[in-house]
A and B are shown apart, each in its own frame.
Chain A
Amino acid sequence: MFTHIRTRLAILYAGLFALALGLVAVALYIVIAATSERQVRDELVASSTVFDRLLELRTRELGNAAGLLSRDFGFRAAVATGDPGTAVSALDNLKARLGLRTAFIVGMDGHVAGLSDPRQRADAAALWTALDAGRTSGIAGLGGVPSHVVAAPIMAPNLVGWVVFANDLGPDQMHRLEQLSAIPINARVLVRRQGHGWTSGERSPDDAAIASFVDARIGDGTPARLDEESGTAIALARPLQGMNDGESAALLIRYPLAEALAPYLPLQIAMGMTGLIGLILVIFGSWRLSLSLTRPISLLDHAAQRMEEGETVEVKVETRDEIGRLAQSFNRMAGGIAEREKRITQLAFNDSLTGLPNRAFFRQHLDLELRQAERRGSRGLALLCVDLDNFKAVNDTLGHPVGDELLRAVATRLSASVGDAMVARLGGDEFIIILSRRDAHEAAGQVAGRLIAALAEPFEIAGQELSAGASIGIAMAPGDGADADTLLKHADLALYQAKGEGGGTYRFFEDEMNARAQSRHRLEADLRRAVAGGEFELYFQPLFDLETNRIGSFEALIRWNHPTRGLVAPDEFIPLAEETGLIVPIGSWVIQEACRHAVKWPDDVRVAVNVSSVQFRKPGLANILMQALAASGLDPKRLEVEITESIFLESSEALIAVLHSLRNMGIRIALDDFGTGYSSLSYLQSFPFDKIKIDRSFIQQMLSRSGSTAIVHAITDLARALGMETTAEGVENPEQLAELRLHGCSSVQGYLFSRPVKAAGVFAALDASNPRRDVA
């Protein structure tokens, strides 16, 4: 019903207080009314008693006076001798002395002397019977007015008449009685002649009610309620001694209840006022109290709403009570939520390793920047895609902890070098920088140059000096792309370009890069088709055994007969196949095809296949080899697997285990392109290769650079010491051959002997180079 607690509380308290106050007021009123009514009743009874007593006193007083007069000799003489003038003058004399209104003489013969009003005379004459019966006092109507009548017989010496004193009991006289009372009562005396109603000396609208009240209550004598026109009164009626037979008299004392309660009016007003003030205070107080109670709740409510809308809020703790503790708990809860939100945001938007913004954050930021740039129009925006050149090697050789350390150091150095531009880590060793400037193009070049210089500086990590080196691709907005995806792709292409050019440099994106990328995509699609369509063909290049002077083995080399582009060199598609993973089916095909051909060759001629590191990383290489051998029936001893040093960049015990399992199958293992890696010699330690193939770069420089000869010599010596054969690659002239013979190289391979030939050409090659075979 009420949406606010404070309203409910205020109404509840005010209602309860008003109820209690009302009950008190009612109780007080009842008590007051009962008390005052009882007081009035008591007072009425007391007043009536006083009236009786007064009447008695007056009776005695008048009786004494009348008695004295009646015994006065002169008066008696006057009355007895029929001298009314004298008698009446004596009466007047006494009236003046006693302060009487009325005094008269009733003779034995009924004659009345001393009254002039005919009505009074008639009423006075009517007293004779009562006087004759010996009554000397009572109430009787005289001229319509209730009067107190006191008589004394005149004995002269026999009874000749009565002296009668009458005191009218009209309003004036009764007023004197009323004044004697403690409370302002209203008294009146009523008389009733037989057959008539009650009459009194005064007239009022309540006469009828009074008359019926007197009739009803006169015998009772206890106060009762009397309903008058002006309100309810407490009244008491009691009989008075009537003078005449057939004439009743009554005293009626009234007291209006309103007047009885009047003295309590100030009390009631005071009660009402204090109640009103109290009620106001209670309303005010409960309002304040409930405010103080509900205000913190409202604050909490409001704070909770704000929190719901995602704001960070804190409620002011004002009290130490439950609500205060609730506020504290709320603050702790809000703080906890904010903390967790922050952490979640951090996790979501920050790279946990470097603390830089992560890819998601970068994307959002880039979108924002692009929108702003779009709004502002001319403002330029550059996207710098940074990739470390040597990170993979560092990670492989020094382990992940060092690599991570290097990434952190790179992140720090990047952040320090780009100023207010944003640096994010996209993953691995790839960082990205958003440069938002008016002259973004020039600035991008400068920044990129500075970054490359900064990252070229060696890092000192874990006590080692490491060189990271970096390549950077740059894409400009909006020229190089309006949306984040395009920009990022183009920056990546530029980076790819820079990498392709040997690294340690930066490149702006150009549209041709896109074209190249597209041709690469096309190539990839073609490659997939080629695997299924049998567009590959194996060529075989013979390896000439210098000790036996014959061809000891062929290296299987893949060629792609592209339907439109013609023959495609392995250099053009093998890296792509390795990137896309297509190398696995292609490699598998090579192995099977090589085995299938080799099994037709003479038993002392081996076949060598190149196996990529990608193939080694995928499980099942051993199975592929085994199936190929089983399918062809080729002796495992006639199969040689050539691996490059790059395989050891991700060297692991698993790799060594795979090599050993191949060896156990009887397959020979040769290390290809030896000498091009960073720690070529250390690889020799990790596995007992069957053969080392010396990289063609050493052979080609052998005659021009003396160091190369020494290296080749050292390699052959080393291999011999380790029990490994050696093959020199890229032998193109007899001088090289002569030198290699001199150094004791096991076999040679190169154009000097033969270019790679088709499978069909293998036998011709064998025939040409192995005349002794024919002899044998």
Chain B
Amino acid sequence: MRALALILPALALAAAPAAAGDLVVQVRAAGGAPVPNAVVTLYPGGRPSPLGPAGSYQIAQRDLQFSPFVLVVPIGADVSFPNFDNVRHHVYSFSPARRFELRLYAREQTRSVHFDRPGIVPLGCNIHDNMIAFIDVVDTAFAARTDGAGTARFTAIPGSQVLVRIWHPYLRAPGNQLELRVAVPDHGTAAQAVPVNLRPPPRPGSAY
């Protein structure tokens, strides 16, 4: 649903240029397994696409976990952090994109943070080390998170050359992201498979 919200403005933009194709990016791990929760962002012609109005986003704290694990938001979005647990949480992020700290708020309390710079914002809870989530603040309209099949779909992509960035929290690459250029046809759908190497996720309770 949120993906749709992102796509909508893109469709609106796509009306102006006559030629626009679709792109399906398939992210797979080394063993061929689909990689969900990867954020795929497209820069047609290498440039960010103008964003639509920022919606409302939330990352809930439930059962001592953030949900969702990865959230994609456009610049200027506000993300609320509702606490559904019986314990308090201390959500923080040291990310250069947005550094904040939501000190010890209890159940049914909601804090909200405004994100106005692009970048990855890792979220953690200072009380519960195992709680981790990522917010990708994007500066382009074409941004999507891979689903359970590791797939992200884009439609009506203007231009023929698209810079594709793939980010995943455990992606084994500098900045945890890959970039590749993809040719998008004027009509029809292009499929781009992206193999990635993933680090093993830190085990719960371990030193990592």
Contacts and interface: CB of A to CB of B under 8 A. Distances in A.
A109 B173 CA distance: 10
A109 B207 contact: no
B94 A81 contact: yes
A156 B174 contact: no
Contacts of B95: 80
B21 interface: no
Contacts of B96: 81-82
Given A156-B122, A158-B122, A63 B207 contact: yes
Interface string B94-131: 11100100000000000000000000001111100101
Given A70-B207, A71-B129, A159 B202 contact: yes
Interface string B138-180: 0000000000000000000000000000000100101000000
Contacts of A80: 94-95
Contacts of B126: 73
Given A71-B129, A73-B126, A109-B174, A155 B208 contact: yes
Interface in A416-452: none
Given A73-B126, A77-B94, A158 B132 contact: yes
A80 B200 CA distance: 21
Contacts of A152: 207
A768 B134 CA distance: 218
A76 interface: yes
A134 interface: yes
Main secondary structure of the interface of A (DSSP, over half): mixed
Interface string A140-166: 000000000000110111111000000
B63 to A, nearest CB: 17
Interface string A70-89: 11010011001110000000
B94 A136 contact: no
A155 B202 contact: yes
Interface residues on B, range: 20 to 34
Interface string B169-207: 100101000000000000000000000000110100001
A132 B200 CA distance: 11
B208 A156 contact: no
Interface in A655-677: none
Interface residues of A, number: 23
A67 interface: yes
B108 to A, nearest CB: 24
Contacts of B132: 155, 157-158
Contacts of B129: 71, 155, 157
Of A67, A81, A156, A160, most buried by chain B (CB within 10 Å of CB) is A156
Contact of A156 (B94, B172, B200): B94
A136 B207 contact: yes
Contacts of A66: 207
B28 to A, nearest CB: 22
A106 to B, nearest CB: 14
B94 A76 contact: yes
B113 to A, nearest CB: 15
A477 B137 CA distance: 173
A404 B126 CA distance: 160
A134 B200 contact: yes
Contacts of A155: 124, 129, 132, 202, 208
A73 B94 CA distance: 10
Nearest to A63: B207
Contacts of A132: 172, 199
B207 A157 contact: no
Nearest to A155: B208
Contacts of A136: 207
B105 to A, nearest CB: 17
Nearest to B133: A157
B202 A67 contact: no
B157 to A, nearest CB: 30
Interface string B69-96: 0000000000000000000000010111
Contact of A157 (B99, B122, B172, B200): B122
A82 B200 CA distance: 25
A275 to B, nearest CB: 65
What are the 9 A-B residue pairs with the smallest beta carbon separation, nearest first?
A157-B124, A80-B94, A158-B122, A157-B132, A67-B207, A153-B208, A156-B94, A81-B94, A152-B207
Interface of A: 63, 66-67, 70-71, 73, 76-77, 80-82, 109, 132, 134, 136, 152-153, 155-160
24 contacts: A67-B207, A70-B207, A81-B96, A109-B174, A132-B172, A153-B202, A153-B207, A153-B208, A155-B124, A155-B132, A156-B122, A156-B124, A157-B123, A157-B124, A157-B129, A157-B131, A157-B132, A158-B122, A158-B124, A158-B132, A158-B169, A159-B202, A159-B208, A160-B94
